[in-house]
């Protein structure tokens, strides 16, 4: 959504009306309704739902915070707004991380992996990253590694 000046408005970032109207399904994969640069879109290897995995890492401590998902439009918004924006598979809508909790993620860098189906998003994390209130979504969920001798 752009204002008369052609600039993206704050409103567009908080309430992505256009995005919410995009139907979920196979067709989302082609990214036809996204403004993502074709040069980047061509490199994405999307799953059947049109998504790529996004690994989110704190840029300063190196902690891995969470795994989320992006389609072309979520990646476009992430790259152009500097606010980490994902696609929620359960809620079937875009979400700007921290839009309700305030625990926002300012994007420091984004890299695609060698085969185009995963993104590494390095962020400046405000507050806890997990919706449960822990620092990361992996905090407190260690599994036992018991190597057989």
Angle at 20 between CA 16 and CA 26, to 5 degrees: 130
Q: Is 72 annotated as a binding residue?
A: no
Helix (H, G, I), strand (E, B) or coil at 67: strand
Please give the Cα distance from 34 to 28 (Å, whole number). Answer: 9
Q: Is 113 annotated as a binding residue?
A: yes
Q: Is 115 annotated as a binding residue?
A: yes
Based on the shown chain and the rule CB under 8 A, indicate whether residue 19 belongs to the binding site for its own copies: no
Interface with its own copies by CB under 8 A: which range of 22-30, 52-60, 97-105?
Answer: 52-60
- Residue 55 burial by Cβ neighbours in a 10 Å radius (0-12, 13-18, 19+): middle
Interface with its own copies by CB under 8 A: which range of 17-25, 26-34, 54-62, 95-103?
Answer: 54-62
Beta bridge partners of 93: 88
Among 104, 126, 134, 135, binds its own copies (CB under 8 A): 134
Site string for its own copies, 70-89 (x = CB under 8 A): -----x--xxxxx-------
């Amino acid at each position: 959504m752009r204002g008369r000046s052609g600039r993206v408005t704050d409103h567009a970032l908080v309430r992505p009306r256009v995005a919410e109207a995009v139907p979920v399904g196979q067709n989302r994969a082609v990214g036809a309704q996204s403004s993502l640069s074709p040069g980047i879109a061509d490199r994405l290897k999307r799953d059947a739902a049109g998504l790529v995995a996004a690994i989110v890492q704190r840029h300063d401590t190196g902690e891995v915070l969470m795994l989320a998902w992006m389609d072309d439009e979520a990646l476009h918004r992430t790259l152009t707004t500097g606010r980490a924006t994902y696609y929620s598979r359960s809620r079937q809508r875009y979400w700007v991380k921290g839009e309700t909790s305030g625990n926002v993620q300012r994007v420091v860098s984004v890299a695609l992996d060698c085969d185009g189906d995963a993104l590494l998003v390095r962020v400046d994390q405000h507050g806890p990253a997990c919706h449960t209130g822990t620092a990361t979504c992996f905090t407190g969920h260690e599994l036992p590694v018991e190597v057989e001798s």
